[in-house]
């Protein structure tokens, strides 16, 4: 996770739980708040080895993104403004 996400997990337990749940959803193939085009791109990436992207929003306010690299070597949880 990035410094921004880490700082927010220290501020509130709700955000820390949101991050944990979002990572679990990402690993299960629940891509969160994505358009159909991005969902299809993720399904194609699963089949062909591309990068995976998920987006989740806590209470309609704070958004996080989760990106798993094409080779599955790294998964990063970040705030959109940190991209």
pLDDT of residue 60: 82
Domain count, the chain: 1
pLDDT of residue 32: 97
5, with CB counted inside 10 A (0-12, 13-18, 19+), is buried
pLDDT of residue 71: 96
Residue 54 to residues 7, 10, 11, 81: CA-CA distances in angstroms? 20, 22, 23, 15
What does the pLDDT look like over 19-67, one tens digit per residue? 999 999 999 999 999 999 999 999 999 999 999 999 999 888 899 999 9
What does the pLDDT look like over 10-29, one tens digit per residue? 999 999 999 999 999 999 99
Domain that holds residue 58: 3-82
């Amino acid at each position: 996770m990035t410094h921004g996400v880490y700082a927010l997990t220290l501020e509130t337990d709700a955000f820390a739980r949101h991050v944990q749940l979002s990572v679990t959803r990402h690993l299960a193939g629940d891509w969160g708040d994505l358009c159909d085009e991005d969902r299809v791109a993720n399904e194609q990436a699963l089949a062909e080895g591309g990068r995976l992207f998920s987006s989740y929003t806590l209470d309609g306010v704070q958004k996080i993104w989760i990106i798993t690299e094409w080779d599955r070597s790294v998964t990063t949880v970040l705030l959109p403004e940190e991209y």
